[in-house]
Amino acid sequence: MPCFFGCALLREENLKSYSWALKAFLGFMNGKVPQTILTDQTLCVREAIAMEMPSAKHAYCIWLIIAKFPSWFNAVLGDRYNEWKSEFYRLYNMETIEDFEMGWRDMVNLFGLHTNRHINTLFTSRTLWALPYLRSHFFAGMTTTAHSKAINAFIQRFLSAQSRLAHFIEQVAVAVDFKDQAGEQQTMQQNLQNICLKTGAPMESNAASVLTPFAFSKLQEQLVLAAHYASFQLEDGFLVRHHTKLEGGRKVYWLPRESIISCSCHHFEFSGILCRHALRVLSTGNCFQIPDRYMPLRWRRINTSAKLLQNTLSDHTERVQLLQGMVSNLVSESVKSKDRLDIAMEHVSVLLSRIRDHPVPSSRYARNDCFT
């Protein structure tokens, strides 16, 4: 379900405005930077994200790019437009960066698009929209900004450029409250639905008891498809391919004792849901439950994730992010005057000395702490 964190009212659409908006957002989030961000192709938005959130993976909404294709390529390609579009989709879904870039060169040669500025712009920005460059980053399987567009459309139904500022704020609050209530009702309805098991596999039953209906439906799709694949053990892993194919396939690495499994398709890294290839290997290896690490907290039902959430609040990553937020606030408050800056520097120097004098735990303890 989409979650509405807030909205920003900007006087102008430029780098300074977007940079301010992102800083304000980070302030409300205690300095915690999003893992991934989906936007349109506005250049100043891209620059602002690179400036204020350099650690976040920024990507362009592919739907907004494809929507421009008719105006960009219809006249240029004529009756070959549909053929080119099919080739674009094939390249967009490529698994490896090498195959994508080789295929792109072949496509440019085939359709004679060497001097086309739109093709050149797309290739220059390929790391922001092509799946081969995004699969290793978590996007919850999303590549479009459809949810935010739906929220924008909802708000615009009763707001216009003539709306007074006070009325604007009141109406947005009403809209957000309405959307939140609708989301809660839909979630409750989903939870009340009876879940239908399709494979009878123990892994499916286990997942159904842990995951939300949405996440379970996505995993169930992969479990059903896994039955159509064959796995072949190699020296350093498994080769998994469709039963009708004699070549190709995906490489799966599995360490049963450590409960670690990964696939060359990067489906889990991108969506947070295990792929059919990994599930096939787990099934072949008589694994009856999906390892906990492959059922992320965000996909779990509230009653199964509450205890885990309490544990994660005190782990290493959360503590580091909390400290980063405090330091960010310290800097922003200290630079407002010379006196404040002098006080901050004096106290930070003392604090650093105390921290350096404090004993460091053994390396074994530190490693366990970071892993948690």
Query: Which tens digits make up the pLDDT trace of 20-41?
Result: 999 999 998 888 999 999 998 8
Average pLDDT in the 104-120 region?
95
Closest alpha carbon to 176 in 2, 361, 355 = 2
Confidence of residue 151 (pLDDT cuts 50, 70, 90): low
Q: Report the mean per-residue pLDDT for the chain.
A: 83
pTM exceeds 0.85, yes or no: no
The residue whose two tokens read 């920005």 is 125
Question: Taking the alpha carbons of 138, 142, 145, 151 in that order, is the dihedral positive or negative?
Answer: negative
Res. 328: pLDDT tops 80:
no
Average pLDDT in the 209-238 region?
92
Average pLDDT in the 289-315 region?
72
Confidence of residue 355 (pLDDT cuts 50, 70, 90): confident
**What pLDDT does 308 receive?**
56
Contact 131, 152 (CB under 8 A): no
* % of the chain surpassing 70 pLDDT: 80
**What pLDDT does 89 receive?**
94
**Buried residues in 57-67 as b, exposed as e (16+ CB within 10 A):** bbbbbbebbee
Q: Is 230 helix (H, G, I), strand (E, B) or coil?
A: strand
Average pLDDT in the 54-70 region?
92
Average pLDDT in the 283-301 region?
90
Res. 362: pLDDT tops 90:
no
Q: For residue 58, what are the β-bridge partners?
A: 37
Q: What are the distances in angstroms from CA 110 to CA 73, 98, 105, 113, 183?
A: 15, 18, 9, 8, 48
**What pLDDT does 372 receive?**
30
Tokens of 12: 């102008």
Bigger pLDDT: 328 or 298? 298
Alpha-carbon span 160 to 158, nearest angstrom: 7
Packing angle, helices 338-357 and 316-334, rounded to 10: 150
The residue whose two tokens read 């891209």 is 46
Tokens of 233: 């053990």
Confidence of residue 188 (pLDDT cuts 50, 70, 90): very low
Average pLDDT in the 267-273 region?
92
